[in-house]
Chain A
Amino acid sequence: MRSLTLEGVGFWYPATESPALRNVSLHVARGEIVALVGALGAGASTLLLVAADLAPRVTGGRLTGSVARHDRSGIVIPTPWTQLSGMAFSVWDEVAFGPANLGWPPHEIAHQVDRALEQLELAPLASRDPVTLSGGELQRVIIAAILAMDPGLVLLDEPAAELDAEGARTLWRLIRLLAKEGKAVLLATSTLDALPEVADRVVWLEDGAIRAVGAPDLLADVAACDAGLGTSVATVWRTSGLPGPYPLTVAQALRRWR
């Protein structure tokens, strides 16, 4: 069952001549994790804004093609400090801001907020003022705030950017858990080493268009490595002049050595 379908989507930001997205066709099924990779300016963030129904509705600009959304979506933008509501003096209230806007009854709001705080390991910070949090803590609060709204389609733009290694591992585990619960996840990330364990499919974007779609093995592809989109293991293997096909992970590299 599809959660999101894009057919031949093109998008132009206001007052720009060249498109940020060109003829993008993509679908994300419920329970599936799709990762968008590409160089800076490849169009991954714009694609997420289109999927979230924020572009062009809020950003302005022009959209061509068709977008079908079958679930309510929630998006996490990479700058957590600009996503605070400014209306909460505690983490709990900040996370409850979205569910309250949905008009849910108070007991349902409390249930979803407590659940999201547990998922992101934020329960000990529930009474802290959000403005006193570190960047990583704030990032987790914003992710919890989106998950508390129980979106069917979760859109994440560089979700691990502010997180330390342990925080990132927790996040990737949570994303797998969300998919198991039946949520569709579309994420843009430059943390390529996590994708073999996390993503079901990888979409390689280049200049606003899809260059390739495939399993995470795509990140060990010669062309992907040439474009700087290989995993660390694949890149090291290639740099060392070892013969292809390149291994994707440490485990694969070990098998090749033996």
Chain B
Amino acid sequence: MTGRRLHPFTLLAIAGTLPALAWILPAPAGAAATLAVALVLTLTPGAGRGLTGTGSSPGWRPGSVVFRTALLTAAPFWVFLLVLHDVATTVAIGLRITTMVASFVWLVAALEPARLVEAMVAAGWSASVAYVFGATLSAVPVLKARARRIVEAQRARGLSARGGIAARLRALRALALPLVLSALHEVDERALALETRGLVPGIRRTPLAPPPDTPAERAARWALLLVCLFALFRRFL
């Protein structure tokens, strides 16, 4: 089963349920179980197009890219936790945080922003609100692509991102400043473009191809909510 075949609301429900259960269920067993599920999801075929920007980009590998991204994103949290806490606490909180990170990375990879917008509009949400959700998810590949272009431009000017820590920090500064400034500049131009293309408050957008939402998926979403409530009840009452 690929993430892209599921309704966007179902993907959101799964990505929300796993972190919720990770924090509700007793650690480390409960968090380890939710993390295992989240990591399996990152290896699901079909996850990856959203994260890489395009499925046809060179070196694109569906699952492994998402899996690796999830682990690399979570790694710094483990370092900080180990500095601040004992091993048992580090493992307990680390597993939960990694579940959150892996679920979010999988969601960004599996959920096409356009399908989410279509689904939200079809469900009666305002197009502007739906766009904000969609744009948030699409920000990751957009920023990643821009960062790659900036790195290439800086390399062409002789800046190397390799070497010792000092050289890497210099390279990071040369990347961060243009990345932030160009992102801020693009926000202005994107706002003008969206306005002129009719994305203004109060519009009634026509759903072009609303994703099918089957009764089984709707039932599954309710079931996920009930599982969370049941786990909460068992844990605290």
Contacts and interface: CB of A to CB of B under 8 A. Distances in A.
Nearest to B55: A129
Interface in A105-126: 105-106, 109
A222 interface: no
A52 B117 contact: no
B168 to A, nearest CB: 29
Given A52-B196, A145-B197, A82 B203 contact: no
A85 B194 contact: yes
Given A132-B54, A132-B56, A82 B208 contact: no
A83 B193 contact: yes
A106 B206 contact: yes
A109 B206 CA distance: 9
A131 B134 contact: no
Interface string A166-189: 000000000000000000000000
Interface stretch (B71-79, B151-159, B173-181, B184-192): B184-192
A137 interface: no
B85 interface: no
Interface string A63-83: 000000000011101010011
A22 B189 CA distance: 24
Contacts of A49: 192
Interface in A136-164: 145-146, 149
User: Which of B131, B193, B194 is packed against the most chain A CB atoms within 10 Å?
Assistant: B193
Contacts of A89: 49, 112, 114
Given A98-B198, A101-B198, A103-B203, A87 B114 contact: yes
A87 B113 contact: yes
Contacts of B56: 129, 132
A102 interface: yes
A100 B131 CA distance: 13
A253 interface: no
Contacts of A54: 192, 195-196
Nearest to B113: A87
Interface residues of A, number: 38
B197 A85 contact: yes
Contacts of B54: 129, 131-132
B192 A97 contact: no
B148 to A, nearest CB: 12
Interface string B123-167: 000010001001100100010010000000000000000000000
Main secondary structure of the interface of B (DSSP, over half): helix
Interface in B61-97: none
Contact of A97 (B49, B53, B55, B197): B197
Most buried by A among B54, B113, B206: B206
A98 B197 CA distance: 5
Given A104-B206, A106-B206, A149 B142 contact: no
A88 interface: yes
B113 A100 contact: no
Interface residues of B, number: 36
A131 B114 CA distance: 14
Contacts of B145: 131
A87 B138 contact: yes
Interface in B182-230: 186, 188-200, 203-208
A83 B189 contact: yes
Nearest to B142: A86
Contacts of A105: 206
B113 A77 contact: no
A74 B196 CA distance: 6
A86 B203 contact: no
Given A77-B193, A97-B197, A129-B56, A87 B206 contact: no
Given A98-B197, A102-B198, A106-B206, A82 B189 contact: yes
Contact of A86 (B113, B127, B198): B113
Interface of B: 49, 53-56, 112-114, 117, 127, 131, 134-135, 138, 142, 145, 186, 188-200, 203-208
Given A93-B114, A109-B206, A132-B56, 8 more contacts: A54-B195, A77-B192, A86-B135, A87-B134, A98-B197, A101-B203, A109-B208, A129-B54
23 contacts: A54-B192, A57-B195, A75-B192, A77-B189, A83-B193, A85-B197, A86-B113, A87-B113, A87-B114, A87-B131, A87-B134, A96-B208, A99-B206, A100-B205, A100-B208, A101-B127, A101-B197, A101-B198, A103-B206, A105-B206, A129-B56, A146-B196, A149-B198
